[in-house]
Amino acid sequence: MTSSAPRFDRGHTDDLMAFLAESPSPYHAVANAADRLEKAGFRQLDETAAWDGAAGGAFIVRGGALIAWYVPEGAEAHTPFRIVGAHTDSPNLRVKPRPDMGAHGWRQVAVETYGGTLLNTWLDRDLGLSGRLTLRDGGHRLVNVDRPLLRVPQLAIHLDRAANDGLKLDRQRHMQPIWGLGENVREGDLIDFVAGEAEVDAGEVAGWDLMVHSVEPPAYLGRDRELVAGPRMDNLVSVHAGVAALTAVATAGKPAYIPVLAAFDHEENGSEADTGAQGPLLGTVLERSVYARGGGFEDRARAFAGTVCLSSDTGHAVHPNYAERHDPTHHPRANGGPILKVNVNQRYATDGGGRAVFAAACERAGVPWQTFVSNNDMPCGTTIGPITAARHGIRTVDIGIAILSMHSARELCGADDPHLLASAVAAFLG
């Protein structure tokens, strides 16, 4: 059984690659998502202003997070929501408050590791610098130095003959990138440079949230170009799919629910932030939407009771060189369609009822799907799924696409899986 739900193709994957390249930081990802929403007719709301209950698309932006929703004509105050949840952040190296350092004639940038990054993937790679500057007037300025600027050099094998027997990296001593030569390190050099790139006066910069990124662009890979290699697939693949699905559903007709995209920041370090899934942001937005349409607490309770959330994040494709690390009966494959993620210890929020909801969406979209469960002897990662379910009392289902090299500076997925995911999400939201 299929339906008239929007369907996506390889053109979606082409667009994803452009989105990845244009979104080196959560702030850029949110800005690019907001631009796409505005072009689709969504309006940005101010959190400090009063909201009306008008039909149509709306969104709010807070730092590296974005919540967007579409209210169909005639929606009741108690109309349930259909939510796709994702996150905008990825593991990387982030600039410290006092970034200027150096030794032995090398100028370096002091960085801190963010999230569970695969450290060795940042070695000997051309790196740019991106993020946002906060100005003295409270405004922000995005910056993206998308050219070779920094490099974390690995020690030559002649000086570490055991490197191939097991590389051990010290996060403090071994991960500080170089960005030039010079004996004298002057405090303020890096921010002076970044301010110039952002075309603002360095004296106006009051704070910064900066991070490094690989400048190598996303690319199709393989004899038949059936794979995509690129940065930040975890989890901009899901953010991009959510934006595409939400805008498609909003323009395709009158959905039965109120479709929502919740793109959080700081998932990679626990979601404990005002822009993270542990915070009240999503619940506040949903409640304000109910109340703006004339509802009260009873309407809010009814709406939440009928709401379902797809927590969309990447999962593990079976690795051909390490198949023993996977569950022997669950081997998700690239281009096999989106995966349903299950863990009975609630590292994922999926249950039997959630499985039925996801299976129905995939059937409506006409896309295949797979199941992922961890090997019993391997610890299982987690997502915003259990957090969303517990915090808001909302049925939540964990899904995503299967990738290799998760948390690497450069990850790998099947070229068809992004548009299959977006098609399933659109069927779910509609």
> Do 323 and 404 meet the contact criterion of CB atoms below 8 Å apart?
no
Q: Does 3 score more than 60 pLDDT?
A: no
Per-residue pLDDT reduced to its tens digit, 195-225 = 999 999 999 999 999 999 999 999 999 999 9
Is 278 in contact with 388 (CB distance < 8 Å)? no
pLDDT for 191: 97
pLDDT digits (tens, 9 = 90+) for 324-353: 999 999 999 999 999 999 999 999 999 999
Mean pLDDT of 321-325: 96
- pLDDT above 70 as % of the chain: 99
Full-model pTM: 0.96
pLDDT per position as a tens digit, 389-429: 999 999 999 999 999 999 999 999 999 999 999 999 999 99
Write down the pLDDT at residue 1: 40
Candidate from 5-9, 90-94, 345-349, 391-395 with smallest mean pLDDT? 5-9
Both tokens of 194, joined, read 């970044």
Is the pLDDT confidence value at 379 over 50? yes
Task: List the structure tokens of 165.
Answer: 């027997």
What is the predicted pLDDT for the residue at 118?
97
Backbone CA torsion sign across 381, 13, 8, 306: positive
User: Mean pLDDT across the stretch 150-174?
Assistant: 95
pLDDT of residue 4: 64
Task: Please state, as a whole number, how many other Cβ atoms lie within 10 Å of the Cβ of residue 121.
Answer: 17
Q: Which amino acid is at 79?
A: T
361 has a pLDDT exceeding 80: yes
Q: Which residues pair with 134 in a beta bridge?
A: 140, 207
Structure-token match 């505005």, residue found: 38
Phi, psi at 319, each rounded to 5°: -90, 125
What tokens appear for 355 in the block? 């499985």
DSSP state of 225: S
pLDDT for the residue 253: 76
The edge-to-edge listing of strands for the beta sheet with 43-44 is 43-44, 56-62, 65-71, 258-264, 81-87, 308-312, 395-400, 339-341, 370-372
Average pLDDT, the chain: 96
Bond prior to 32 in cis (omega within 30° of 0): no
Split at pLDDT 50, 70, 90, the class of 2 is: very low
Which SS3 state, helix, strand or coil, does residue 332 take? coil
Which DSSP helix (H) or strand (E) runs through 403? strand 402-404
Residue-wise pLDDT tens digits, 272-293: 999 999 999 999 999 999 999 9
Q: How many CB atoms lie within 10 A of CB 183?
A: 10
Average of pLDDT values for 30-51?
Answer: 98
